[in-house]
Amino acid sequence: MQWHLKESACAGSIIAALAIGTATAQEQLPKGREAVEIKDGVYPASYFPNTEILGEQEMRITALGTGMPNQTKAAVSISFLVELGNGDKFIFDIGSGANGNLFSLRPDFEQIDKIFVSHLHVDHVGDFMGLHVGGWLSGRYTPLRVFAPSGSTPELGIKSYVDGMQQAYAWDLQTRTGALPDEGAKIEVTEFDYLQENEIVYQENGVTIRSWPAIHSLDGSVSYSLEWNDLKYVFGGDTYPNKWYVEYAKGADLASHEAFLPHDALAPYFGWDLSQATYVATRVHTEPAAFGKVMSEVQPRMALGCHSVLSPENYQAILEGVRTTYDGPLTLARDLQVINITKDQIVVREASVDDYALPPAVSQAYIDAPRSEEKSPSDQVLSGKWEGYTPPPMPDGN
Ligand SMILES: [Zn+2]
Ligand SMILES: [Zn+2]
């Protein structure tokens, strides 16, 4: 593998590193690791990214973030990656801190181009611009497509959010435009009615994604279902237990839903009094016993609870709360938990990732994608280059 470091005119800072060649993520694996098919439904005990060929009929869901807005090292804010046997990949929410876990999986960023957002709290969209720019740097040369609900007024919907982000990051986006593929700078927004009930948001390549309302803080939180190949994944947005989820999540193979900290754990966690903690845990969110009630109605093949911090004492409290009302298959999700789903079984494991995982290689199509002129500081600023330093010559002699 050769690397060509492309230096911008940006006063000595390297802003793009482009791989020469078309090595895949699998080809860059350390010696001794290679992608293999899973035979007879027997998986390795841990999931090592890019070492397993996803079955054609199979769905793999990886928790990128399962925690709270005030994230911990063990639990960043909410995000899930869904990968299908047909090659499609989808992100559901991209809360603060989730990008680190996504990048540690070394995914093919050409495919990480569709994100579905449940609502616009920072613990669900905080890493949105990091995903947009980080993915653009790492192999995506097409627009990022974002699907998310409207709000009760125009400024509370996803269009307004994306407009604002593009304004706030105008400097960042302009510096990279030219060095990176032009189309990758774009964001395509689909804003749908937050009140729609089980209506289609997305339908391509055999995949159907629907949304329905959730009850949370303000209007404009939703839940999603993804159906493909007779498998159904449900992603619950932050919510008080709601009738739409109970109805439309039915038939799910994996149904995710918040199982928030119980009020008597939430109070010391935030330093709140019990009244405020009870209000938030049982009026704005779904406490563990309520999560269990919902799942007893939905009866998924597996229930997934998240949006908490599973320290030992909390884990026990949440588990006991859920088990007062639900005795079915359950996982209380941790970051980088991996769930493989086939018609025959659901397998829950942890991913094993490198702390210094390199970004994945980019494709020849990415290298060849059109770029406009690179940007540069003004002559006035460039005139301030210190004469006491001379950079080494560029490899191509320029
Ligand atoms: Zn929220
Ligand atoms: Zn939240």
What is the 23 CA–ligand 2 centroid distance (Å)?
Answer: 38
**Residues whose CB is less than 8 angstroms from the CB of residue 164 and which lie 6 or more positions away in sequence, other chains included:** none
pLDDT of 13 reads 36
The CA-based dihedral angle spanning residues 312, 315, 321, 327, taken in that order and rounded to the nearest 10 degrees: -120
Ligand 2 (single-atom ion) residues, CB below 5 Å: 121, 123, 238
Nearest listed ligand to the Cα of residue 284: 1
**How many Å is the maximal CA-CA distance in the chain?**
73
Q: pLDDT per residue over 113-154, tens digit each? A: 999 999 999 999 999 999 999 999 999 999 999 999 999 999
What is the 277 CA–ligand 1 centroid distance (Å)?
Answer: 15
Nearest listed ligand to the Cα of residue 214: 1
In the chain, the N- to C-terminal Cα span, in Å, equals 23
pLDDT of 34 reads 74
Nearest listed ligand to the Cα of residue 65: 2
CA neighbor of 227 nearest in space, from 338, 93, 86: 86
Rounded distance, CA 31 to CA 156, Å? 49
What is the 65 CA–ligand 2 centroid distance (Å)?
Answer: 11
Map out the domains of the chain with their CATH numbers: 2-382 (3.60.15.10)
What is the 183 CA–ligand 1 centroid distance (Å)?
Answer: 31
CA neighbor of 333 nearest in space, from 91, 75, 70, 106: 75
pTM: 0.92
pLDDT of 397 reads 72
Which residue in the block uniquely carries the two structure tokens 């980080």? Answer: 134
- Output the six-digit token pair for 68: 């709270």
What is the 218 CA–ligand 1 centroid distance (Å)?
Answer: 9
What is the 187 CA–ligand 2 centroid distance (Å)?
Answer: 24
CB 210 within 8 A of CB 200: yes
What is the 251 CA–ligand 2 centroid distance (Å)?
Answer: 25
pLDDT per residue rounded down to tens, the chain (398 residues): 333 333 333 333 333 334 444 455 555 566 666 789 999 999 999 999 999 999 999 999 999 999 999 999 999 999 999 999 999 999 999 999 999 999 999 999 999 999 999 999 999 999 999 999 999 999 999 999 999 999 999 999 999 999 999 999 999 999 999 999 999 999 999 999 999 999 999 999 999 999 999 999 999 999 999 999 999 999 999 999 999 999 999 999 999 999 999 999 999 988 999 999 999 999 999 999 999 999 999 999 999 999 998 999 899 999 999 999 999 999 999 999 999 999 999 999 999 999 888 878 899 999 999 999 888 999 999 999 999 999 999 998 76
- Output the six-digit token pair for 278: 């009870």
What is the 321 CA–ligand 2 centroid distance (Å)?
Answer: 20
Element of type H or E holding 304: strand 302-306
Secondary structure letter of residue 47 according to DSSP:
B
Which residue in the block uniquely carries the two structure tokens 């884990």? Answer: 315
What is the 63 CA–ligand 2 centroid distance (Å)?
Answer: 15
Count Cβ atoms below 10 Å from residue 343 Cβ, excluding itself: 11
Phi first, then psi: what are they for 19, rounded to 5°? -80, 135
